[in-house]
Amino acid sequence: MTNRDRFLDALHGLHHDERPVFGTGTSIVCQELMERVGARFPEGHTDAEKMAALAMAGHTELGFDVVMPLFSVCHEVASIGCRVDWGSPERMPESGPPIFRTSADICIPSDLLTRPACAVPLAAIGLLKQRLGADAAVCGKVFGPWTQGYHLFGVENFLMGTLDDPDDTRRIVERLLPVTIQFAKAQIEAGADCLLLADHATRDLCSPAAYQSFLQEVHTRLAEAIPCPLILHICGDTSDRMGMIAETGLACFHWDTKTGSAKDVRGLAGERLSLMGGISNGKLLQADPETIRADANTACAAGIDVIGPECAIPLTTPLANLKAVVGRRSR
């Protein structure tokens, strides 16, 4: 059994042996890892070779069964036309001011996928596939229409719109959905085995009623339209919507430890939805390798299918803590 197959089966809740499966669909890059690999931000977002080198370290340095090269939240929106500051080794990228006000303003460029912000990760996925073979799965990443809306319309304007003009919010979601599907299909063609679908419908920004009204059906449609296993990522406490997520047909959910203990989350997700995560970012930043190792064991015993960090790790995370997820010691 290859690591790639072991990982992909775990996304469907299938496990073949005693060995746990490790990985994450969000960024694993910290400053120590950049130094170790000799590739840094911002080039890690804008240069396919540097991006692939950093992602590859998820397998070669950390021992994960999956690699994922899209470290920021900005690729789609940069290609659509948002100004993006790609950051530095100390700072993650940020998108600039909103560019749209209503659904009627939305204009998706016909060359979306060949613009650098999409073309670079597509090339990096190809390089990773070529270099890794079946040694690790290659995971791509796309953003759902809700998260794209935050960047393109501004978080506050977008969320106000859900109350003031919900019909227009629905039109926005409909018009941005093809961006997610188009970029997803291109990543699969480039070599991605599975995709992280990040749609930041966090409790403080999206009530359970809003999730049900605007997003549950959209996530169900994405699961149907994209021909590979999808891992939904939502930050924060998602206990009130885990049951709805389990009904979407998405393969896996990447959960935040604010939701509860691994055991509780396993109970909330039910039998069918597989789960990724279990290691808190706060602990990765501040605890010691023994604590991280113990939390990985706890997550495994609770039935978490893929064990790893809960979200994009902070850039100052100690590499020794990241390595401790799979039980590697820092040299």
Q: Would you call 230 exposed, middle or buried from its count of C-beta atoms within 10 A (0-12, 13-18, 19+)?
A: buried
Q: Is 127 or 313 the residue whose CB approaches Zn ion more closely?
A: 313
Q: Measured over all CA atoms, what is the biggest interatomic distance in the chain, rounded to whole angstroms?
A: 56
Q: Is 5 or 237 the residue whose CB approaches Zn ion more closely?
A: 237
Question: Across the chain, where does the E strand assignment appear?
Answer: 21-22, 66-67, 84-85, 94-95, 137-143, 194-198, 230-233, 252-254, 274-279, 306-309
Least Cβ distance, residue 39 to Zn ion (angstroms): 23
Residue 183 CB contacts under 8 Å (≥ 6 apart), including other chains: 75, 76, 112, 113, 118, 142
Least Cβ distance, residue 312 to Zn ion (angstroms): 6
Least Cβ distance, residue 280 to Zn ion (angstroms): 12
Q: Is 119 or 304 the residue whose CB approaches Zn ion more closely?
A: 304
Tokens of 205: 């920004």
Q: Is 206 or 311 the residue whose CB approaches Zn ion more closely?
A: 311
Q: Would you call 209 exposed, middle or buried from its count of C-beta atoms within 10 A (0-12, 13-18, 19+)?
A: exposed
Compute the CA torsion angle 218, 198, 131, 329 (nearest 10 deg). -140
Tell me which residues touch Zn ion (CB under 5 A). 235, 311
Torsion over CA: 35, 38, 43, 46 (sign): negative
Least Cβ distance, residue 135 to Zn ion (angstroms): 27
Q: Is 123 or 194 the residue whose CB approaches Zn ion more closely?
A: 194
Least Cβ distance, residue 144 to Zn ion (angstroms): 13
- Do residues 66 and 58 lie in contact, with contact meaning Cβ atoms separated by under 8 Å? yes
DSSP state of 215: I
Least Cβ distance, residue 142 to Zn ion (angstroms): 14
- Contacts by residues 32-39 (CB-CB < 8 Å, ≥ 24 positions apart): 32/317, 32/318, 32/319, 33/57, 33/61, 33/319, 33/322, 34/89, 36/61, 36/319, 37/61
Residue with tokens 């977002």: 45
Q: Is 70 or 311 the residue whose CB approaches Zn ion more closely?
A: 311
Q: Is 122 or 311 the residue whose CB approaches Zn ion more closely?
A: 311
236: left (phi over 0), alpha (psi -120 to 50) or beta: left
Q: Is 231 or 311 the residue whose CB approaches Zn ion more closely?
A: 311
Least Cβ distance, residue 198 to Zn ion (angstroms): 7
Least Cβ distance, residue 235 to Zn ion (angstroms): 3
